[in-house]
Structure 1
Amino acid sequence: MRLSPRQVAAFLGRRLLFSAVVLLGVLVLVFLLVQLVPGDPIRLALGTRYTQEAYDALRAASGLDRPLGEQFLSYVGSALTGDLGVSFRSGEPVTQLLLQRLPATVSLALVGIGIALLIAVPAGIWSALHEGRVSDAIIRVTSQLGVSVPDFWMGMLLILLFSTTLGLLPSSGYVPITEDVGGWARRVALPGLTVGLVAAAIMTRYIRSAVLEVASMSYVRTARSKGLPAGVVVGRHVLRNALVPVLTIAGIQLATILGGVIVVEVVFAWPGLGRLVYDSVAARDYSMIQGSVLLIAVMFLLINLLVDVLYALVDPRIRLA
């Protein structure tokens, strides 16, 4: 069923309204982060640099000397205009620092999800179509091992193999893709492979289950009973209808990678959002932590919205309701 522009606009309007409500809730939680922290965040941020003058100046600059309600309204108003405050540690605008780190994390996430899809889609489909055979057992055991291995351990093994032993790839560092495509590709290979292998192990199991579920449907059995070639049944009826749950798990994994690659970025000295959050927590830089959490939440909402829109494009039976 082809969707009219009015249906699409209504759906997008509802989803954006829902996202706005969720974002407001995130703003409240992020704002309360500083208020609920034990002790004085300004004193913690200054550490050994503490003087009364520095304390008063940083407290005034961060707005923590104003009433709580006024602080919240000011924070929400500033956040909506892109102003997330000033870093306690460096004194630079939080938004500027986040935008500097965002390309590194996005590039790593896209490489990781690309590797995961290249591995998981054919492996999951093959495992489902050969259920009960030796190849199915091998894929299931391998994916279980991939889920069980921590990503930092996977990264260390890859560094040991490709960097230390074979000397093929650098173990750390980052070069922007706009400056040197080859240098970027060499440095993103190992962290991207680490993220991709872990995500592929998770996605393979979901894809296998989705294909098995669709393959057991009555319309698939009917297509087979009509004598249609196996390739037509699989391509037209099984894979197309199994694509919706694949989009779901792919979107979840992409959002998870964008917001949860802290350990991988630390292991490979990758200057992304995860490394920034790690350094900010260590330095008690709560303004930076607030901004990072808010940015990650926005990325989650955008990816969920994109996946919902893709549902309707992939499966016309889905009503945008």
Structure 2
Amino acid sequence: MTFLKILGRYIITLFAASVLIFLLMRAVPGNPARVALGVNATEEAVAELTTSMGLDRPLLVQYGDWMGGLLTGNFGTSLSSQQDITAQVLDRAQVSLILVAVALVLALAIAIPVGMWTARRNGHMDATVVTALTQVGIAIPSFLVGIVLTAFFAINLGWLPANGWSPPNWGFGTFLSHLVMPVIALALVQGAILTRYVRSAVLDVLDQDYIRTARALGQSPAQALWRHGLRNAALPVLTVAGLQFTTLIVGAVVIEAVFVIPGLGSMLLDAVSVRDLTTVQSLIMLLVAFTLTINALTDAAYRFIDPRLREGAQS
């Protein structure tokens, strides 16, 4: 029943988001057909394109057509390029997912050991310094990290390409060389955020009675934490990691612009710059759906890991 509630809440939220996005796009001043044809287009041409795009039909019919297309994988036709949006989305989504997924893995690889170490060394000068550095990392935006990395490793040292993207099938080494700096730019900021949550979660666990009992039975602090506390510490970290995954998607929009990466973020910015409302509408809906999906999966995983939540929902 709990998972059905999560699914129901997900569907309702997704529906509400789609209605809001659709209405906001219709509230933007100007006729999309006029934007597509340019200022020199005749009224007859604008009227003809308006009819062919279905913009003269009732809003409810337009919404139904748009949602029907999305559910069947048809994102429509770009107003600016007159190309199929679906093909572009599939191509660009692979790039963005690789970038975001690798960045999250690296952020967790940094946050988990560093957060656990600073929690175990709580009160010592070395852990205090590292904790202070994570606060600095939180304050620095990812695009600034990307600019600094580009200036140092690409321009000064010439070790890495300054921008661009190379698919894995073009050569794995070239692929990695283009991936390193944007991933680090995203992962360092998110790693700093996650490190503080890991540290806080581990500190809470270390203060529990079952950890003290394990220590009294002869286990080392590391053994007691690993065997008895890690699962409980993982619960809040899992929630935050799911939320930060969606934050990474937003951050990737800027990073893709900084490193000229052909992902969904750069596609969205290009569509906004030319007022391609059809593309903007579909891309925003796709990003919202992906964000809500991640949140729903995180909620479900949280309840799966913690039996107390399942028992509470059943009672």
Change (3 A) 1:49 1:241: farther
Q: Partners of 1:49 and 1:306 in 2: how far apart?
A: 49
Residue 224 of structure 1 and its aligned partner are, at CA, apart by: 2.6
What's 1:306 paired with? 297
Change (3 A) 1:129 1:281: same
Aligned length: 312
What's 2:15 paired with? 24
What's 1:109 paired with? 100
Residue 96 of structure 1 and its aligned partner are, at CA, apart by: 2.0
Residue 244 (structure 2) pairs with residue 269 (structure 1): no
What's 2:90 paired with? 99
What's 2:177 paired with? 186
1:127 to 101, 118, 127: 118
What's 2:129 paired with? 138
Q: Deviations over 1:167-189 (max 9, x none)?
A: 11111111112332221111011
What's 2:71 paired with? 80
Residue 297 of structure 1 and its aligned partner are, at CA, apart by: 1.5
What's 1:33 paired with? 24
Q: Deviations over 1:47-84 (max 9, x none)?
A: 44633344234322332111222222222222222222
Residue 207 (structure 2) pairs with residue 216 (structure 1): yes
Where 2:282 maps in the other structure, the secondary structure is: helix
Give the counterpart letter for 1:223 in structure 2: A
Residue 95 of structure 1 and its aligned partner are, at CA, apart by: 2.0
- Percent of paired sites with the same residue: 39
2:282 to 291, 301, 321: 291
Give the counterpart letter for 1:196 in structure 2: A
Q: Partners of 1:317 and 1:181 in 2: how far apart?
A: 45
TM-align CA RMSD: 1.9
Q: Partners of 2:8 and 2:250 in 1: how far apart?
A: 23
Give the counterpart letter for 2:224 in structure 1: V
Q: Partners of 1:113 and 1:293 in 2: how far apart?
A: 21
Whether the 8 Å contact between 2:2 and 2:310 is mirrored in structure 1 is no
Give the counterpart letter for 2:147 in structure 1: M
The within-5 A match list for 1:148-159 is 148-159=139-150
Whether the 8 Å contact between 1:172 and 1:268 is mirrored in structure 2 is yes
Question: Once structures 1 and 2 are overlaid, which stretch shifts more, 41-50 or 211-220?
Answer: 41-50
Q: Partners of 1:316 and 1:130 in 2: how far apart?
A: 31
Change (3 A) 1:62 1:33: farther
Residue 41 of structure 1 and its aligned partner are, at CA, apart by: 3.4
Residue 296 of structure 1 and its aligned partner are, at CA, apart by: 0.8
Residue 235 (structure 2) pairs with residue 244 (structure 1): yes
Give the counterpart letter for 1:24 in structure 2: F
Give the counterpart letter for 1:58 in structure 2: L
Whether the 8 Å contact between 2:6 and 2:300 is mirrored in structure 1 is no
Residue 227 of structure 1 and its aligned partner are, at CA, apart by: 3.5
What's 1:319 paired with? 310
Whether the 8 Å contact between 1:58 and 1:88 is mirrored in structure 2 is no
What's 2:168 paired with? 177
Q: Partners of 1:69 and 1:258 in 2: how far apart?
A: 30
Q: Partners of 2:20 and 2:41 in 1: how far apart?
A: 28
Residue 57 (structure 2) pairs with residue 66 (structure 1): yes
Residue 237 of structure 1 and its aligned partner are, at CA, apart by: 2.1
What's 2:195 paired with? 204
In structure 1, list runs of 5 or more residues that go unmatched.
1-9
Residue 317 of structure 1 and its aligned partner are, at CA, apart by: 4.0
Q: Partners of 2:225 and 2:85 in 1: how far apart?
A: 50
Give the counterpart letter for 1:305 in structure 2: A
Whether the 8 Å contact between 1:95 and 1:291 is mirrored in structure 2 is no
Give the counterpart letter for 2:201 in structure 1: A
User: What TM-score does the superposition give when structure 1 sets the normalisation length?
Assistant: 0.90
Change (3 A) 1:242 1:67: same
Q: Deviations over 1:266-315 (max 9, x none)?
A: 00000001101111111101111111111112211222233234335544
Change (3 A) 1:67 1:122: same
Give the counterpart letter for 1:27 in structure 2: S
Question: Once structures 1 and 2 are overlaid, which stretch shifts more, 49-58 or 224-233?
Answer: 49-58
Whether the 8 Å contact between 2:142 and 2:251 is mirrored in structure 1 is no
Q: Partners of 2:203 and 2:49 in 1: how far apart?
A: 59
Change (3 A) 1:85 1:132: same
Where 1:39 maps in the other structure, the secondary structure is: coil
Change (3 A) 1:96 1:259: farther
Residue 103 of structure 1 and its aligned partner are, at CA, apart by: 0.4
Give the counterpart letter for 2:123 in structure 1: G
In structure 2, list runs of 5 or more residues that go unmatched.
none
Q: Deviations over 1:228-274 (max 9, x none)?
A: 33222111222221011111121112222224411110000000011
